[in-house]
Structure 1
Amino acid sequence: MHYARLGSSGLKVSRLALGCMSYGEPGRGTHPWSLPEEESLPFIAQALDLGINFFDTANVYSLGTSEEFLGRAIRKLTRREDVVIATKVYERMTTSSLSGGLSRSAIMRELDASLRRLDTEYVDLYIIHRWDHETPVEETMEALHDVVRAGKVRYIGASSMHTWQFVKAQYIADLHGWTRFVSMQNHYNLVNREEEREMLPYCRAEGVGVTPWSPLARGRLTRDWDAASPRTAGDPVQERFYGPTEQADRAVARVVAEIAAERGLPMAQVALAWVLHQPAVTAPVVGATKPHHLEDAAAALDIVLDATELARLEAPYTPHAVVEYV
């Protein structure tokens, strides 16, 4: 396993993060394809065996049961101080009008709930899942600073927003001497590269670590484009992200398949190796529901793509319309 500092922070993480959205009670929340606890545990164990120390979840994943599964697995398999746990806040957890968002009240309430589910005294990286259009950013940033000062959170991060929003939040933190974000978890892969316009250059300039989600385009870059899976059948987000650009995205996937065939490698290794080659990227968040998923991800760390291969992979890309993350 390879390790790196998360941006300019002192936090050292594996260059792969295991995304735990696939682990949780299938009947809870919006992920019917998630794995129950007894099926989830082997993947967390496999990640640890591979040297992965970075685990990413969220309060909303399977309505808290993902956090519960991860917390129990960490207690069973390793020492808390040897892993980096990231979780998120923003999405609604109940139908109450007070649920969701990034108000001071919501952050304090949801962080304490996440700590209980994870059975830990602190979260290494606390991420705002989305931008809250209804709460002043000053209120959010002060609350995040306070939970860091209280020792409940070590570092804070953000996810999926416009660059101007991220810059504004960092500016507010600087203006008041509050804690800055050290990471950005954004949508970035070979078939969606819009973050290269502003967000990735900003993160590099400011020393912000980048931990892309969906680095394999929800599996689209790992197999024949028309192949179905339980995930694709039960994931309505797929159409929103990739439906409007399907023909252009297919062209990119064909090149991934060509280079994979030439090298005698799985497509997943080639597509993930491209993400890992990007200088702004610290640690892609990879999902795993089959043993070879993590094996392919770890193998991608050692793949060196030459300039010709990189150019071939990037040539078919067509600009995508901005997708609002709400």
Structure 2
Amino acid sequence: MKYTRLGSSDLTVSRICMGCMGFGDSTAGFHHWTLGEKESRAVMERGLEKGINFFDTAAAYQGGSSERFLGRFLADHARREEMVVATKFLPRTDEEVEGRVSGQEHVQAMLEKSLTNLGMEYVDLYIYHMWDYRTPLWEVMDGLTRVVRQGKARYVGISNCYAWQLAKANALAGAEGFVPFVSVQGHYNLIFREEEREMVPLCRHDGLAMTPYSPLAAGRLSRKPGVSSRRMEEDSYAKTKYGAGREDDAEIIARLGQVADRLSVSMTRVALAWLLGRTTAPVVGVTRGDQVDDAAAAVDLDLDLKDAAYLEEPYAPHPLVGVMADNRPV
């Protein structure tokens, strides 16, 4: 495994971040294909064996059971100071808005709940899961600053936002003395490259870490057309993200297979190697030990410029999908 600094923080992270959305009680949340605790622990143990020290989860994953599985596993198998744990919080609920719960109170309550789930005194990276259009940005930034000063979060990051929103938030942090965001977790992979328009240049200019999610497009960049998996069959949300662009993406996936065959490696390794050349640490969701092995091996694969250009050439603009399509101002 290789390691790097997470943006301007002092956190040293593995180049592969283990995404924990696939771990959790399958009856407790939106996804029905998630692993139970025993199976989740086996996959996480393989991650530790491969040198992964960066784990990403969220309060929203399977009713908090993903956080609980991760916390119990790390308590049994790792030294806390050697791990980098990230979790995320959602915007205020309708009930909180109607009850006039402030942004500061919401951030505090959500973090306390996550810390209880994880069984930890602090998280290394606390991530604003998606932009809250109904809560003043000042309140969110103030709330995040408070939990950092309490020692309950070391750094803060953001996910699912526009570049202008991130720039605005960090400008406010500079003006008000709030803690700034050091990382952004956006939707970015070979068949969805809209982050390159504004977010990638912003992060490069300001020294922000990029930890993209869905680096393998929910498995579509891991296998040739016609080969399926349980998640590809049952993950209805992923179908809404990638179903409409299937024809536009087919040529890229075909080329990915060609490059992988020529290099005698998996499509997963090539897709991740391409992204590793552009970002800090992709958040790779895994549900099997061999997937962990493949992801870890990608850090040692250096794509040459010709292969990268060959993979990139067919790309066509895509409309926003997933959270970014759903979570817009009204």
After TM superposition, the score normalised by the length of structure 2 is 0.94
Amino acid at match of 1:188: Y
- Superimposed CA distance per residue, residues 99-144 of structure 1 (whole angstroms, 9 cap, x where no aligned partner): 8998222111110010011011001000000000000000100000
Mapping 1:1-326, distance limit 5 Å? 1-90=1-90, 97-98=95-96, 103-278=103-278, 281-323=279-321, 324-326=325-327
Determine what percentage of the aligned residue pairs are the same residue.
Answer: 46
**Contact 1:272–1:297 (CA under 8 A) maintained in structure 2:** yes
**Contact 1:59–1:89 (CA under 8 A) maintained in structure 2:** yes
Q: CA RMSD in A?
A: 1.6
Say how many residue pairs are matched. Answer: 322
User: What displacement does 1:224 show?
Assistant: 2.1
Partner SS, residue 51 of structure 1 = coil
User: What displacement does 1:325 show?
Assistant: 4.6
- Superimposed CA distance per residue, residues 75-98 of structure 1 (whole angstroms, 9 cap, x where no aligned partner): 110111110000000167xx8722
Amino acid at match of 2:300: D
**Contact 2:91–2:131 (CA under 8 A) maintained in structure 1:** no
After TM superposition, the score normalised by the length of structure 1 is 0.95
Partner SS, residue 169 of structure 2 = helix
Distance 1:201 1:249 in 2: 24
> Which segments of 5 or more consecutive residues in structure 2 lack a partner in the other structure?
none
**Contact 1:102–1:132 (CA under 8 A) maintained in structure 2:** no
**Contact 1:160–1:325 (CA under 8 A) maintained in structure 2:** no
Amino acid at match of 1:296: D
Distance 2:26 2:313 in 1: 39
Bigger mean CA deviation after superposition, 289-298 or 124-133: 289-298
Off by >3 Å, runs of 4+ in structure 1: 99-102
- Superimposed CA distance per residue, residues 279-314 of structure 1 (whole angstroms, 9 cap, x where no aligned partner): xx1100011111111111111111111111011000
Distance 1:168 1:223 in 2: 39
Distance 1:106 1:117 in 2: 17
User: What displacement does 1:11 show?
Assistant: 1.2
Distance 1:221 1:77 in 2: 31
